[in-house]
Amino acid sequence: MLAAPFNFFNFSVRLNIEEQIDIANRSYIRFYKKKINDLLTDQEAIKAELETSSNMIDEFKIGSERAERKIKQLEIQDAMFQEEKKSIIKANSNKLMRVSN
């Protein structure tokens, strides 16, 4: 004991340093667990936004397709009415020519 009178204090200092390292390691673990949980929460929020946006885009596509079909249908109807109008005008002009002759 006389050869190393301060060994007891040295052992205590080592324990305190190891305890500080353990505490630091635990706080790092808590920090990174929190960081991981935050990242997972952010990822879930982004997935929810992406799903909502995807649904909205799908609805816009469906609406756009309906509008295009309706436009084509109306264009066909317009062409038919124009043809019918031309034939009626031609028929009436022929009748008018016959009546006037």
Q: What is the pLDDT of residues 64-94, one digit of tens each?
A: 999 999 999 999 999 999 999 999 999 998 8
- Which conformational region is residue 4 in: left (phi greater than 0), alpha (psi within -120 to 50 degrees), or beta? beta
> Burial level of 49, CB count in 10 A (0-12/13-18/19+)?
exposed
> For the CA atoms of the chain, what is the radius of gyration?
43
Model pLDDT for residues 9-59, shown as the tens digit of each residue: 555 556 677 787 888 888 889 999 999 999 999 999 999 999 999 999 999
Q: How far apart are CA 92 and CA 98, in angstroms?
A: 10
CA–CA separation, 42 and 62 (whole Å): 30
Exposure string of 65-87, with b = 16+ CB inside 10 Å and e = fewer, is eeeeeeeeeeeeeeeeeeeeeee
Give pTM, 2 decimals.
0.51
